[in-house]
C-alpha cells in the first residue's frame, strides 16, 4: 500500500466516477495527505512482526502463552478442567451451588461452560503453534519446533480424551475444519512426538548443554534433556491409553518411550511443573479467592481409609474456610460428586485443598515422576518389559511421598486398609437425597504378587490416581474411563435426563455449541466418527470398558 497505490485509486475514482469530479479541486488539495494514514492506523502500543524478529521473539514469545494455556488462568481452568474432569475423576467437587445445582457436576453439561475447552485449546495453544510453524520454525529452529509439538500433544491429548474425534490434522487451514478420528489423532500424536524427540536428540548432539529456549521455558529452564524425558513420558502415557483398543501400537509406542536413551521423568526434579511469567496457580486462585472448589468425597475416603500420610499435605481438615459441620472440626470431610450443595457458605466448612502448600505461584504439574513409575509398573505387569511391577509400583508410591515431603512409613505394607465409607453430615435435609454411601473399593495398598493382574492393575491405577493430585485430573479421568479404576462414588444427583448412566458414569463431554454454529459440517463429521450420539454417555474410541462394574483390562 504505497503512495502510488493511493494515487492510482484516487485517479481511478476521479476518472471513472462522475460524482467525484465534484470534488476534484479538493482532492487535488488532499493529494498526498493520506500517505500518513498507514502510520496513523498502526497501533504504537502493538508489536509488529519486524519488531518481534529481534532475538527470535517472533517465535519464542509464543511459548509462555502456550505453556500457561495448558491449564490456563483461573477462570478458564475452572471451565476447561475443574468443573468437569477434576470432578469426574473424584478429586474435587465445588462447594458452590452453580446454576441452582444443575450443572456439569451432576451431569447437566452446561454448554456455555464447555465451549471454553475448545476456545482455550485451539485459540491459545494450537493457533499459536500454527503461527510458530508459519514463521518457518519447523526447519529454521527444529529444537523450538520440538517443544511446540510436545506442548501441543500435551494440550490436545486432553481435548481428544474429553471428546473423542476432534479437529487436529487440518487445524488452521480452512474456515470449516474437518474432524479426525481419535485413532488418527493418536497416530499423529505419536508421529509428532517422533519428530520432537529426533529434533531434540539432534540438537543435543550438536550443541550439548546449550539452552537457547531457557528464557521462554516455564517448565525446564531450557534443559532439552528434560524435555526429551517429558516427550518420552508423554508417549508412554498415550501409549498406555490405547492398550485395550490397539494393544500392538500401545506396546510398540510404550517400548519406544521406555527404550529411549534419554529416559523418562523418573525423579521429582524432572516433574513437569509450569510456573513463572507471573502465572498464578489456578487451583490456588479458584480455591482461595472464589472459594469455588472443595475436595471430593472419593479422594478423602481413599486417603482417610488408607491412613495416607499425604492427606494433611493434600487437604485442609474441615472447618478451614468456614465453620465445619458439627462434630467434624479438624476431621477430613469431602463432598460427594453431584451433591446439591446448599448455598454458600454451607459446604465451605468441608475439606479444601491445602493452600499452605498449593500457593499463589506454585508450579502446576502436568506430569510427575510417580505417574511414570506407575505407567512402568503397568508395562511390567503387561509383560512388555523385564522390569518388576512391584518395584515400579512401590517406587511410584515412594516417589509421590517424597514429592510431598512425607515418609511412607508402613504404608507399603498395609494390606488391610481400604477406602472408608462416606457420611455427609448435611444430607439428607429437606428435599436433598442422602449423599452418604458405603465404600465402593476393597483394594488394599500392599502389592500382592498372588493377586490377579486385574487386581494389581486396580492397585496401580488407584495409587497413580492418588499421586496425580492436585492437577492431574484430566489424566486421572481418562485413566478411570480406560481401566475402571479407582472405583469412584457415583453422582448423588444425575441431571443428564437419561443420557448418562449414573452407574456407568460420564464417558465424555459434548461438543461445544460454538462448533454447531460455526463449524456445522465439521462437527457432524465428528459425531459420525464418534459412532454414537454426541452425549456424555457415549464412550470414546479407547474406552472399551465403558464403565462396566467389572472392568476387563487384560
Partner 1 sequence: MQKIVYGYCIPWWRSSSLTKTLLVMKLTFLFLTAACLNVYANGVSQTITLSGKNVELTKVFTAIKKQTGYVVFYNHSDLNGTSPVTLSVYDMPLRSFLDIMLKNQPLAYNIEDKTIMLYRRAVPEEKALDSKQVTDIIANIIKGKVTNAQGEPLQNVSVIVIGSQSGTTTNNEGQFTLTTPDNKDIILEFSSVGYQTKRVKVGKQTEVNVVLELEVAGLSDVVVTALGVQRSAKSLVYANQIVKGSELTDIKNDNLMNSLNGKVAGVTISPSASGVGGSAKVILRGSKNAFGTNQPLYVIDGVPISNSSNANGQPNSTFAGGPDGGDGISNLNPDDIESISVLQGASGSALYGSQAANGVILITTKKGKIGTAKINFSSSYTNNTISYKPKFQNKYGVTPNGNQSWGAALTTPEENDNLSVFYQHGQNISNSVNFSSGSALAQTYFSYANTTASGVEPTNKLVRNNFTFREIGHFLNNKLTVDANTNYIQQKVDNTPSMGLFFNPLTGLYLFPVGNDITQYKDQYSIPQPERNGLLTQNWIANEDLQQNPWWILHKNPNYSTRNRLILNASVKYDFASWFNLQVRGNIDRVSDTWERDLYSGTNPVNVIGRNGAFTRSDLTRTQKYGDVIASLKIPFKSPFKLEGLLGASNTDVITNGTSIDQGLGLIIPNIFIAQNVATSVTSNVSNSSTHSQIQSAFGSLNLSYNDWLFLNITGRNDWSSNLAFTSNISYFYPSTGLSIILNQVLKLPTFISFAKVRGSYAEVATSVPQYITNPLSYLAAGGSVNFNLVEPNPKLKPTNTKSTEIGADLRFFDNKLSFNFSWYKSNTYNQFIQYTPAASTGFKVGYLNAGNIQNKGIELLLAYDLVKSEQLSWNTALNYSSNQNVIIELNPNAPDAQILLTTPNPNAYGSALQKGGSWGDIIGVKFERNESGQIELNSGGQPINNNKFVKVGNPNPIWQMGWNNTFNYKKITLSFLIDGKFGGHVMSMTQMLMDSYGTSKVSGDARDNGGVKVNAVDPNGNTVSTIDALKWYSTVGGRSGIGEVYMYSATAVRIRQATLGYNFPIMNNLIKSIRLSLIGSNLLYLSKKAPYDPEITMSTGNGMSGVDVFSQPTTRNIGAQLNISF
Residues 406-465 close enough to bind partner 1 by CB under 8 A: 426, 430-433
Least CB distance to partner 1 at residue 420 (A) = 24
> How many binding residues for partner 1 (CB under 8 A)?
106
Least CB distance to partner 1 at residue 401 (A) = 32
From 308-316, 322-330, 407-415, 450-458, give the range in contact with partner 1 by CB under 8 A: 322-330
- Residue closer to partner 1 by CB (options 90, 349) is 349
Least CB distance to partner 1 at residue 247 (A) = 31
Least CB distance to partner 1 at residue 189 (A) = 17
List all residues 6 or more positions away from 83 whose beta carbon is below 8 Å from its beta carbon: 94, 98, 103, 104, 105, 113
Q: Decide the pairing of beta strands 272-274 and 364-367.
A: antiparallel
Distance CA 175, CA 171 (A): 9
Least CB distance to partner 1 at residue 92 (A) = 17
Task: Identify the DSSP state of 269.
Answer: G
344 is an interface residue for partner 1 by CB under 8 A: yes
- Within 111-150, the residues that bind partner 1 by CB under 8 A are 111-113, 115, 118-119, 121-123, 126-128, 130-131
322 is an interface residue for partner 1 by CB under 8 A: yes
- Residue closer to partner 1 by CB (options 512, 551) is 512
CA proximity to 377, closest of 463, 494, 437:
463
Q: Rg of the chain's alpha carbons, rounded to an integer?
A: 26
Is 92:336 a contact under the CB 8 Å cutoff? Answer: no
Alpha helices in 281-427 (DSSP H): 282-284, 297-305, 311-314, 369-381, 389-403
Least CB distance to partner 1 at residue 510 (A) = 10
- Residue closer to partner 1 by CB (options 239, 318) is 318
- HSE-CB of 10 using CA atoms within 13 angstroms: 20
User: Which sign does the torsion angle of CA 19, 23, 28, 34 carry?
Assistant: negative
Query: What's the CA angle centered on 228, arms 223 and 231, to 5 degrees?
Result: 130
- Within 275-304, the residues that bind partner 1 by CB under 8 A are 276-280, 288-291
Phi-psi region of 466 (alpha: psi -120 to 50; beta: other; left: phi over 0): alpha
331 is an interface residue for partner 1 by CB under 8 A: no
CA proximity to 113, closest of 78, 61, 68, 148:
78
- Residue closer to partner 1 by CB (options 240, 364) is 364
Least CB distance to partner 1 at residue 299 (A) = 23
- Within 200-219, the residues that bind partner 1 by CB under 8 A are none
Query: What's the CA angle centered on 412, arms 408 and 416, to 5 degrees?
Result: 120
Least CB distance to partner 1 at residue 278 (A) = 3
Phi-psi region of 28 (alpha: psi -120 to 50; beta: other; left: phi over 0): alpha
Among 72, 84, 94, 177, binds partner 1 (CB under 8 A): 177
User: Which sign does the torsion angle of CA 16, 21, 24, 30 carry?
Assistant: negative
Among 101, 160, 354, 395, binds partner 1 (CB under 8 A): 101
Among 2, 4, 16, 44, binds partner 1 (CB under 8 A): 44
For 398, the 3-state DSSP assignment is: helix
Contact track, partner 1, 373-412, x by CB under 8 A:
----------------------------------------
Distance CA 375, CA 254 (A): 9
List all residues 6 or more positions away from 414 whose beta carbon is below 8 Å from its beta carbon: 306, 307, 444, 445, 446
Among 62, 162, 186, 189, binds partner 1 (CB under 8 A): 62
Q: What are phi and psi of 340, to 5 degrees?
A: -75, 90
- Within 491-510, the residues that bind partner 1 by CB under 8 A are 493-495, 497
- Within 475-494, the residues that bind partner 1 by CB under 8 A are 493-494
Distance CA 423, CA 318 (A): 13
Among 15, 17, 210, 434, binds partner 1 (CB under 8 A): 17
From 249-257, 260-268, 392-400, 514-522, give the range in contact with partner 1 by CB under 8 A: 514-522
- Residue closer to partner 1 by CB (options 10, 453) is 10
Least CB distance to partner 1 at residue 53 (A) = 12
Least CB distance to partner 1 at residue 167 (A) = 4
Amino acid at each position: 500500500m504505497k503512495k502510488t497505490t493511493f494515487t492510482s485509486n484516487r485517479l481511478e475514482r476521479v476518472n471513472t466516477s462522475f460524482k467525484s469530479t465534484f470534488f476534484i479541486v479538493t482532492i487535488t488539495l488532499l493529494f498526498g495527505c493520506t500517505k500518513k494514514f498507514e502510520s496513523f492506523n498502526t497501533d504504537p502500543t502493538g508489536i509488529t512482526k519486524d519488531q518481534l524478529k529481534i532475538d527470535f521473539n517472533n517465535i519464542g514469545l509464543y511459548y509462555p502463552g502456550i505453556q500457561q494455556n495448558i491449564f490456563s488462568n483461573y477462570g478458564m481452568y475452572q471451565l476447561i478442567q475443574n468443573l468437569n474432569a477434576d470432578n469426574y475423576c473424584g478429586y474435587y467437587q465445588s462447594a458452590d451451588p452453580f446454576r441452582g445445582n444443575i450443572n456439569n457436576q451432576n451431569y447437566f453439561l452446561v454448554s456455555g461452560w464447555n465451549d471454553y475447552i475448545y476456545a482455550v485449546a485451539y485459540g491459545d495453544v494450537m493457533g499459536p503453534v500454527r503461527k510458530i510453524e508459519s514463521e518457518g520454525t519447523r526447519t529454521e529452529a527444529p529444537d523450538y519446533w520440538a517443544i511446540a509439538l510436545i506442548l501441543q500433544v500435551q494440550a490436545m491429548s486432553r481435548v481428544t480424551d474429553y471428546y473423542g474425534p476432534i479437529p487436529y490434522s487440518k487445524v488452521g487451514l480452512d474456515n470449516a475444519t474437518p474432524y479426525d478420528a481419535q485413532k488418527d489423532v493418536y497416530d499423529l500424536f505419536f508421529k509428532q512426538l517422533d519428530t520432537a524427540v529426533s529434533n531434540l536428540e539432534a540438537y543435543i548432539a550438536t550443541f550439548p548443554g546449550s539452552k537457547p529456549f531457557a528464557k521462554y521455558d516455564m517448565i525446564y529452564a531450557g534443559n532439552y534433556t528434560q524435555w526429551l524425558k517429558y516427550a518420552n513420558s508423554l508417549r508412554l502415557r498415550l501409549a498406555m491409553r490405547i492398550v485395550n483398543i490397539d494393544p500392538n501400537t500401545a506396546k510398540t509406542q510404550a517400548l519406544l518411550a521406555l527404550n529411549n536413551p534419554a529416559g523418562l521423568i523418573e525423579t521429582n526434579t524432572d516433574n513437569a511443573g509450569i510456573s513463572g511469567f507471573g502465572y498464578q496457580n489456578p487451583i490456588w486462585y479458584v480455591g482461595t479467592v472464589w472459594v469455588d472448589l472443595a475436595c471430593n468425597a472419593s479422594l478423602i475416603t481413599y486417603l482417610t481409609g488408607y491412613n495416607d500420610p499425604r492427606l494433611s499435605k493434600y487437604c485442609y481438615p474441615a472447618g478451614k474456610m468456614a465453620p465445619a459441620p458439627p462434630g467434624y472440626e479438624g476431621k477430613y470431610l469431602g463432598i460427594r460428586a453431584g451433591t446439591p450443595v446448599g448455598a454458600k457458605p454451607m459446604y465451605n466448612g468441608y475439606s479444601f485443598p491445602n493452600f499452605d502448600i498449593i500457593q499463589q505461584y506454585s508450579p502446576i504439574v502436568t506430569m510427575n515422576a510417580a505417574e511414570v513409575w506407575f505407567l512402568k509398573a503397568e508395562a511390567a505387569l503387561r509383560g512388555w518389559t523385564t522390569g518388576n511391577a512391584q518395584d515400579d509400583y512401590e517406587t511410584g508410591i515412594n516417589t509421590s511421598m517424597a514429592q510431598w515431603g512425607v515418609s511412607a512409613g508402613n504404608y507399603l505394607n498395609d494390606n488391610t486398609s481400604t477406602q472408608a465409607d462416606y457420611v455427609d453430615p448435611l444430607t439428607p435435609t429437606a428435599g436433598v437425597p442422602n449423599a452418604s454411601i458405603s465404600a465402593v473399593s476393597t483394594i488394599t495398598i500392599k502389592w500382592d504378587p498372588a493377586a490377579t493382574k486385574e487386581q494389581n492393575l486396580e492397585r496401580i491405577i488407584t495409587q497413580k490416581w492418588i499421586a496425580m493430585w492436585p492437577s492431574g485430573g484430566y489424566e486421572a479421568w481418562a485413566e478411570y474411563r480406560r481401566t475402571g479404576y479407582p472405583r469412584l462414588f457415583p453422582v448423588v444427583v444425575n441431571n443428564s435426563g437419561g443420557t448418562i448412566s449414573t452407574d456407568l458414569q460420564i464417558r465424555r463431554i459434548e461438543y461445544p455449541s460454538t462448533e454447531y454454529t460455526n463449524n456445522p459440517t465439521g462437527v457432524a463429521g465428528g459425531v459420525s466418527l464418534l459412532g454414537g450420539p454426541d452425549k456424555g454417555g457415549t464412550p470414546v474410541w479407547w474406552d472399551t470398558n465403558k464403565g462396566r462394574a467389572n472392568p476387563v483390562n487384560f
